[in-house]
Amino acid sequence: MSLIAHTSHWLVNVAYVLPFVGFLVWLFITSRRERRKAAREKLEASDA
């Protein structure tokens, strides 16, 4: 029974932290995408 109790505590903590981690991942991906887009536009502008 102890294993189930510990598992449920871990699941509650993960459920509490998961939205924050998901937000950080989304923020990281979005910032990388924007940097790549800016670099691509800069390269295209210098080629023209």
pLDDT digits (tens, 9 = 90+) for 8-48: 888 999 999 999 999 999 999 999 999 999 999 998 888 86
The predicted structure's pLDDT at residue 14: 93
Residue 40 placed within a domain: yes
DSSP 42: H
What domain range includes position 24? 19-48
- Domain membership of residue 45 (yes or no) is yes
Domain count, the chain: 1
Residue 4 lies in a domain: no
- Residue 11 in any domain: the answer is no
Give the up-direction half-sphere exposure of residue 12: CA atoms within 13 A in the CB hemisphere: 6
pLDDT of residue 47: 80
Q: Is residue 9 part of a domain?
A: no
Long-range contacts of 7-14 (CB under 8 A, 24+ apart): none
Q: Report DSSP letters for 1-38, one per residue.
A: -HHHHHHHHHHHHHHHHHHHHHHHHHHHHHHHHHHHHH
